[in-house]
Structure 1
Amino acid sequence: MRVVVIGAGLAGLAAACHLTGRGYEVTVVEREDVPGGRNGLIVREGFTFDTGPSVLTMRDLIADPLRAVGADLDDMIPMRRLDPAYRAQFADGSTIRVRYGREAMRTEIADTCGSVDAAAFDGFVDWLQDLYVAEMPHFIDRNFNSPLDLLSRPDVAAKLVRLGGFGRLGNAIRRRFTDDRLHRLFSFQAMYAGLAPDEALAIYAVITYMDSIEGVWFPESGGMHAVPVALATAAEKAGAQFRYGASVADVLRRSDTGGVAGVRLDSGEQLAADAVVCTLDLPTAYEKLLPDLTPPRSLRRPRYSPSAVVWHLGVRGLPEPGVSHHNIHFGHEWGGAFDDLMKRGTLMGDASRLVTIPSLDDPSLAPEGCSTLFVLEPVPNLADGHIDWVRERGPMRERLLGFLEQEGYPTDVVTEELVTPLDWQQQGMAAGTPFALAHTFAQTGPFRPANVERRVPGLVFSGSGTVPGVGVPMVLISGKLAADRVGEYLRDDASTSATRPRRASRRG
């Protein structure tokens, strides 16, 4: 049976690997000339920039789709663990490094924050692990058909209640540590879920577990783009076909059932299929490919995550000793800065920023004596913000340049690319945010937009806008869940599909 996957981002590639490994005839259609989607690539004047995620955790979730097509992670993507995972620089001039392993991190906390917080660290790790074990198989790596599915494992739900998972993340961290710097270090990950730490549920501490406890990795060669390249290579070797430089204009539907019959490309070419996996941002998918359908209720008044300005720089010079691959610079403000971002829709009055320097661990990403920098500042999305990005683009660049100079980074710019919410919007990301819907309770688990469209049988969604959510680990799981949905549909449909007429029609 034939399956078309729209998009060769991480979600689409994971789906393609799982589907190919299960024996389906898979064609992946990707508008760019290379795989990766948001995990794309810019090569300019000898510098190589990753355009998407910069933090890689939970490498077993990359191994899973590779294994599905008979490939080995260590052979396909040799990696090294980053230790420290982060260098956290605080406004008072102090530094805490997130070290791998309980003993190393306990020692780091003892040296920087004192013995009381160091003693609390082991209990904190145990709590994170308990949350992870309860959540992953039952609430993350799972397809939901309705909110009632939550009642299928009352024992697990009760355990999460006992663990305080439905309380607030900020409070959960403050109860365990006395040092305000640790409150920030172990709760800023709520931003990945599109929420302020004091608003996010404590169950999102699993993100803290993924990077601060399980560790952060980096490919030895090729930067983060090595991940989609490896997934695409493995899928293609196993039999999947890739159509690069092609865009899908329509989802074709059967005249008898309304189910999918394939896709039509912008060129007019039609690709027949028994099922379609769509990885476009969900609001964009409904607008562009399903204009005749009213979007589901969860997309009619959505709450989006904040966006980000990302500045890619190729610079002459190398970082000073002590600078890490990932560097988080926390401002003086915390709660007030989140209010600026998420309530007032303005720039953070005292922004916290991430500076990633991938050339530290892969010198091939920059010419000799030079560095590649990735600078990220959270900003409001276009739906909630009150910022004119046409006017603000220049001033934002100057502020970021001043920040880099103040913090001692090399700033002799050779080449650069500044990405604002307007650019994310032009790439097809609703509200100009690459982080999709925020993980509020009403947009989490079975309440998040479903990965099936019941009105178009055989159409399955994957990516950060559907279950389980945002981030590299989540979209890789999303690809597997989409493959499971395709399998369910084709098994259910198998008894009658051979005898039904297959007349395709375009609707909308």
Structure 2
Amino acid sequence: MRTVPGATDHVVVVGAGLSGLACALHLLGAGRRVTVVERDEGPGGRAGRVRLGGYEIDTGPTVLTMPDLADEAFAAVGDRLDRHVELTPLHPAYRARFADGSALDVHTEGAAMEEEVRRFAGPAEAAGYRDLRRWLERLYRAQMRRFIATNFDSPLRLLHPDLARLAALGGFGRLDRRIGRFIGDPRLRRVFSFQSLYAGVAPARALAAYAVIAYMDTVAGVFFPKGGVHALPRGMADAAAGAGAGFRWSSEVTSLERSGGRVRAVRLASGERIACDAVVLSCELSTAYGLLGRAPRRPVRLRHAPSAVVLHAGTDRTWPGLAHHTLSFGSAWERTFEELTRSGRLMSDPSLLITRPTTHDPGLAPPGKHLHYVLAPCPNTDIGPSGAEWRDLGPRYRDSLVAELERRGLDGFAAGVERELLVTPVDWADRGFAAGSPFSVSHTFAQTGPFRPRNLVRGLENVVLAGCGTTPGVGVPTVLISGRLAAARVTGETGESAGSGRSSGGRRQGTRTRIRTASSGVRTGAPAGEAAHDPS
């Protein structure tokens, strides 16, 4: 593995999002002095926080999986996730509601889900689910160490026995066909393939290997942090500060001072100069390239994932049919992906993610009130309506979404909204997200693994990239891994493979997190609303 040569005693991390904070913790654990520079007033990046009339709104991802990856970052400095964040496993992880009126609770415990599938679709589908679950587990084991949680210096790194194992599992076939080998009910197939949307690829064209996201959702488990997902970056920043990191809030990096093929300092908008031995840019990929003054040459321009419209609604009521996370599917499926990824039209029959965080933390809303997050995928601005068009289109689309929610059983939703915040692709674009998409660069084959934008910068030997635009990709688990991989480029300490449940290599190590159960910078953030799985 290639690493930063020369001195790396003091590292400046640009951006205090999840990847930047994970990187900072791993660097601190390896004995580096770390300064984190963030343009916002506090940590979070995409996983930020907006306060709106007594409502505490997560501006980014609402679905948290694979918390062991976060615990690895805390453990690098001898700390533990559960000292900072209280996690509740969600049962069910999701509730799926379909256009025919049927509903399915998605459990991550195998026996419970098998019984639910038997109730929903019969014994043959329950047996198919058992086989699918075993396949997902094997697929995850084949991919994580070698293809996800690793730094690639060359595509030749793919030439390993694990590649043959992945091929034998059908990982290079098409996702929808592979899922269809196990289960025939089209409703069930949606539950295990919709995740490819967040990778920016339709299930009919996505590699079956992307079912690893379904493993994270439907097998490894979904968790809710008390205080919302923003509690995670807040806890990470506290742990990093306790381990000696310096933080510069409300500080925008405007340029990099270079000499002899190295960055010697970062310059802030205030005119201040911060000298450093290495720099990690965990900001938006396009912003990082702007600071570097160039982007890598690629045969084909980067393609970006679909965007999303998010309606944050503080309401005076809620609806008993909603779980913490509810997937509301329309009748259309193939047409939906055609609209989102190819034709650039708004979904004519939308599938939606509805999250109600006050299910497990009523303190996120005023007493007796409720908070709902409605995410509607939409085309990015490269292929769909432009940012300027969204300024007029946004309010009309909001009204159509509210009407659709009422048609799907959320009677009185419009009348129940007391405070709201609407986020559209123009808001993402205003934050510097390329193509107006919070999901960054899509995971086509040519933009995955060793073919994704690398986290090393040609021509500057002490600059490393982190975040969803670089390796390994989009989503909370993967951006946490991205931070660890960036730190490894600086320190050379790879530690345990991410996702192993053990801490990554560091000077001090903690123990695994104990998850509590319940009875039931450059601006790297967003103004509000980030798609789930990001989302970040």
Q: Same fold per TM (> 0.5)? A: yes
Corresponding position of 2:158: 150
User: Separation in 2 of the partners of 1:163 and 1:113?
Assistant: 26
CA deviations on 1:213-261 (whole Å, 9 max, x unpaired) are 1110001x2111100001000000000011111110011112xx22111
- Partner residue of 1:290 out of 287, 292, 295: 292
Aligned to 2:181, what secondary structure does the other structure show? helix
**Residues 280-359 of structure 1: matches in 2 within 5 Å?**
280-287=283-290, 289-291=291-293, 293=294, 295-298=295-298, 301-317=301-317, 319-359=318-358
Residue 39 (structure 2) pairs with residue 31 (structure 1): yes
- Partner residue of 2:185 out of 170, 179, 182: 179
Corresponding position of 2:79: 71
- Does the CA contact (< 8 Å) of 1:187 and 1:208 recur in 2? yes
Corresponding position of 1:122: 130
Residue 281 (structure 2) pairs with residue 278 (structure 1): yes
Corresponding position of 2:506: none
CA deviations on 1:178-213 (whole Å, 9 max, x unpaired) are 111011111001012111111110001110000111
CA deviations on 1:97-138 (whole Å, 9 max, x unpaired) are 101211000000000011100011111111111110110000
Corresponding position of 1:506: none
- Partner residue of 1:46 out of 50, 54, 65: 54
**Residues 154-165 of structure 1: matches in 2 within 5 Å?**
155-165=161-171
Amino acid at match of 2:142: A
Corresponding position of 1:459: 463
User: Separation in 2 of the partners of 1:233 and 1:452?
Assistant: 28
**Residues 226-245 of structure 1: matches in 2 within 5 Å?**
226-245=231-250
- Which structure exhibits the higher relative contact order, with contacts defined as CA atoms closer than 8 Å and separated by 6 or more residues? 2
Corresponding position of 1:269: 272
Corresponding position of 1:397: 398
User: Separation in 2 of the partners of 1:178 and 1:300?
Assistant: 37
User: Separation in 2 of the partners of 1:297 and 1:102?
Assistant: 46
User: Separation in 1 of the partners of 2:158 and 2:296?
Assistant: 20
- Does the CA contact (< 8 Å) of 2:91 and 2:107 recur in 1? yes
Alignment RMSD: 1.2
User: Separation in 2 of the partners of 1:215 and 1:111?
Assistant: 21
- Does the CA contact (< 8 Å) of 1:4 and 1:28 recur in 2? yes
Corresponding position of 1:406: 407
Note closer, same or farther for the CA distance 1:299–1:49 as it changes in structure 2 (3 Å cut). farther
- Does the CA contact (< 8 Å) of 2:310 and 2:373 recur in 1? yes
Aligned to 1:372, what secondary structure does the other structure show? strand
User: Separation in 1 of the partners of 2:265 and 2:418?
Assistant: 45
Aligned to 1:224, what secondary structure does the other structure show? coil
Corresponding position of 2:472: 468
User: Separation in 2 of the partners of 1:40 and 1:284?
Assistant: 18
User: Separation in 1 of the partners of 2:421 and 2:298?
Assistant: 34
Amino acid at match of 2:311: W
Query: TM-score, normalized by length of structure 1?
Result: 0.93
Amino acid at match of 2:475: G
Aligned to 2:230, what secondary structure does the other structure show? helix
Note closer, same or farther for the CA distance 1:259–1:485 as it changes in structure 2 (3 Å cut). same
Corresponding position of 1:224: 229
- Does the CA contact (< 8 Å) of 1:298 and 1:449 recur in 2? no
Note closer, same or farther for the CA distance 1:362–1:130 as it changes in structure 2 (3 Å cut). same
- Does the CA contact (< 8 Å) of 1:354 and 1:376 recur in 2? yes
Amino acid at match of 1:43: R
Aligned to 2:229, what secondary structure does the other structure show? helix
- Does the CA contact (< 8 Å) of 1:18 and 1:68 recur in 2? yes
Amino acid at match of 1:106: E
Q: Which runs of 4+ in 1 moved over 3 A?
A: 407-411
User: Separation in 1 of the partners of 2:408 and 2:185?
Assistant: 23
Corresponding position of 1:501: none
User: Separation in 1 of the partners of 2:407 and 2:11?
Assistant: 52
Corresponding position of 1:246: 251
Corresponding position of 1:435: 439
Cα deviation for residue 404 of structure 1 reads 2.6
Query: TM-score, normalized by length of structure 2?
Result: 0.88
Corresponding position of 1:383: 382
What is the aligned-residue identity percentage? 50
Structure showing the higher helix proportion among its residues? 1
Corresponding position of 2:22: 14
Cα deviation for residue 66 of structure 1 reads 0.6
- Does the CA contact (< 8 Å) of 1:346 and 1:380 recur in 2? yes
User: Separation in 2 of the partners of 1:321 and 1:375?
Assistant: 16
Corresponding position of 1:495: none
Aligned residues: 480
Aligned to 2:483, what secondary structure does the other structure show? helix
User: Separation in 1 of the partners of 2:46 and 2:454?
Assistant: 21
- Does the CA contact (< 8 Å) of 2:200 and 2:341 recur in 1? no
Corresponding position of 1:497: none
- Does the CA contact (< 8 Å) of 1:382 and 1:421 recur in 2? yes
Aligned to 1:116, what secondary structure does the other structure show? helix
- Does the CA contact (< 8 Å) of 1:298 and 1:443 recur in 2? no
- Does the CA contact (< 8 Å) of 1:308 and 1:378 recur in 2? yes
- Partner residue of 2:195 out of 177, 189, 195: 189
CA deviations on 1:462-481 (whole Å, 9 max, x unpaired) are 00000000000000000000
Amino acid at match of 1:466: T
Aligned to 2:322, what secondary structure does the other structure show? coil
User: Separation in 2 of the partners of 1:473 and 1:94?
Assistant: 31
User: Separation in 2 of the partners of 1:373 and 1:197?
Assistant: 28
User: Separation in 2 of the partners of 1:320 and 1:19?
Assistant: 46
Alignment gaps of 5+ in structure 2: 1-8, 494-536
- Partner residue of 2:428 out of 424, 441, 444: 424
Amino acid at match of 2:390: W
Cα deviation for residue 300 of structure 1 reads 5.9
User: Separation in 1 of the partners of 2:298 and 2:42?
Assistant: 32
CA deviations on 1:440-474 (whole Å, 9 max, x unpaired) are 11000000000010211111000000000000000
Amino acid at match of 1:421: P
Cα deviation for residue 406 of structure 1 reads 2.7
User: Separation in 1 of the partners of 2:188 and 2:352?
Assistant: 17
Cα deviation for residue 299 of structure 1 reads 8.7
- Does the CA contact (< 8 Å) of 1:451 and 1:467 recur in 2? yes
